Amino acid sequence: MMFDLPDDDTLYAALLARDPRYDGRAFVAVASTGIFCRLTCPAPKPLRRNCHFFDSAAACAAEGFRPCRRCHPLGSTEPFVAELLEALQADPARRWSEAALAARGLDPSTVRRAFRRHFAMTFLDMARAARLRAGFGTLKDGGRVIEAQLEAGFASGSGFRAAFARLLGRAPGAFTGREMLKADWLDTPLGGMIAVSDARALHLLEFADRKALPTELKRLSALVKGDIGIGRTAQTDRIETELGAYFAGRSARFETPLALHGTAFTRAVWDLLRAIPPGATRSYSEIALALGRPQAVRAVARANGANQIAIAIPCHRVIGADGSLTGYGGGLWRKERLIALERSCSQGTARESRRTPALPATP
């Protein structure tokens, strides 16, 4: 099952041994070559410091690595998939369009379907995210808007400003560096996330492609009566570390302080969400019953949808009364993978606890 992986040292040992047990379950991306492989790849083995391990080919591609031509980690795919990934890695700042794909003799709809099948996103979305991420990093490091624009590969300043206006609700030229709230980009195996924090707490954590994100950022800015700038705080570092442990299957505990902007009822719903054990799910009606308001199912659903701190407040653990996956702002495909990750980790923990002898009782 996806994400149910051991630590990186164990995976590196499996890479050296070409262990077939991890074939299709773990992939190694090599920083020195920009290539990702199966662990059974016959190529000479890279140095440990150059290896990064992922649980899917999609995660490797999202980080800009291209598939190996010897072990074919994507399996049987259309040849253009690997070719486009190589082109994206060679020039991540390039502005791609359907016309550019057609100029290569490719049918844009065929490319769209193939990338969604393999990576749960289109090629144009992947290219756009790479450009925005590059520009975001430049601004965070204090670069001028024009530098960020060029690094992100936008043909015009207006295009770059429009992209950031959609993402953060402000043109990048408006950032002063004195804002109390800081927004930064975090990479995860399920795509980029935007974290907004101040020195005290995390205020927002959302997937960058969520359609409601610009609205959420504007609402947050109004609630705190202050602008949102580019950068990070110690709380950003903390949630990034916790997300890393979460996606590696090591821990589902989130202890970063959270700033909860909601009514008393909404915060009560969020508290119950955080009490749902990893790997478990609850229905809206069960949460309403736990609140002592069994008729408030719709209000519970609205509070669940109003959550602006994804994963740490696990609204993905709420499902329909019939067991179906209901709406999720980050996309149902992410909800499914988050639940699968947590169930895989909790099963592994249970197996480990059964193998561990009980300690003698303290007299």
Which residues participate in catalysis according to the annotation?
A: 315
Rounded to a whole number of angstroms, the CA Rg of the chain reads 22
Per-position DSSP letters for 246-284, written without gaps between them = HHTTS-----S-B---S-HHHHHHHHHHHHSPTT--EEH
In terms of DSSP H, where are the helices of the chain? 8-17, 57-62, 79-90, 98-103, 108-119, 123-140, 145-152, 157-168, 213-224, 234-247, 264-275, 284-290, 297-305, 332-355
| Sequence-ordered list of residues with C-beta below 8 angstroms from that of 157, at least 6 positions apart, any chain | 145, 146, 149
What phi, psi does 206 have (nearest 5°)? Answer: -140, 155
Sheet hosting strand 193-197, strand order edge to edge:
202-207, 193-197, 181-186, 228-230
How far is it, in rounded angstroms, from Cα 20 to Cα 118?
22
How far is it, in rounded angstroms, from Cα 117 to Cα 111?
10
How far is it, in rounded angstroms, from Cα 223 to Cα 66?
43
CB 103 within 8 A of CB 74: no
Classify residue 34 by its DSSP letter. T
| Sequence-ordered list of residues with C-beta below 8 angstroms from that of 32, at least 6 positions apart, any chain | 46, 47, 50
Please report which helix (H) or strand (E) contains residue 186, including its range: strand 181-186
